[in-house]
């Protein structure tokens, strides 16, 4: 279905979770996942403010009524920035991150967005492997991009076919 602005909305079901558009009601749970999963978590206010942006794509992965993962992306023109993808540790390696990425790619294709870019910690081998498996290529590095601890970021990108 299309929104008033012409963008597609989606709702996908996967065996591991239901993927749907994230709402403001999901923010407290998403902020909790942030604190659980990242040394530099986004605040509830930051998530809420970004979700309200016109060019934001937030997806929720819900399992048995509980938010088990989410994705936060924004775009300008035909480029999307994957700001965050987060899956509860007990739900990892079950395909939820891949499902969230598949829905983001579908959203991009449907809306004429040709590429997705992201930064990932150099030490996050699992995430880098996931992104490579999902068709992302390493494009470069951003020295000392992260703090807590200080670390380089690996810049990765995906282009629609």
Instruction: Summarize pLDDT for 79-97 with one digit per residue, the tens.
Output: 999 999 999 998 888 889 9
pLDDT at residue 1 is higher than 80: no
- Catalytic one of 34, 103, 131, 146: 131
Contact by Cβ (8 Å): 82, 116 = yes
Mean pLDDT confidence for 110-118: 96
Mean pLDDT confidence for 137-143: 96
Known catalytic membership, residue 131: yes
- Catalytic one of 34, 62, 103, 119: 119
CA pair distance 54, 67, nearest whole angstrom: 23
CA pair distance 137, 155, nearest whole angstrom: 8
Cα 49–Cα 92–Cα 27 angle in degrees, nearest 5: 20
């Amino acid at each position: 279905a299309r929104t008033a602005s012409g963008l597609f909305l989606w709702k996908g079901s996967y065996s591991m979770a239901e993927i749907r558009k994230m709402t403001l009601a999901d923010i407290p749970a998403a902020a909790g996942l942030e604190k659980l999963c990242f040394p530099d978590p986004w605040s509830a206010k930051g998530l809420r403010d970004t979700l309200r942006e016109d060019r934001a794509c937030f997806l929720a992965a819900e399992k048995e009524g509980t938010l088990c993962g989410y994705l936060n992306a924004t775009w300008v023109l035909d480029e999307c920035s994957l700001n965050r993808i987060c899956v509860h540790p007990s739900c990892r390696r079950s395909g939820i991150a891949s499902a969230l990425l598949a829905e983001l790619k579908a959203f991009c294709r449907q809306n004429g967005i040709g590429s997705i870019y992201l930064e990932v910690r150099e030490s996050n081998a699992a995430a880098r492997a996931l992104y490579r498996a999902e068709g992302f290529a390493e494009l470069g590095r951003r020295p000392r991009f992260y703090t807590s601890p200080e670390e380089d970021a690996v810049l990765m990108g995906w282009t629609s076919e």
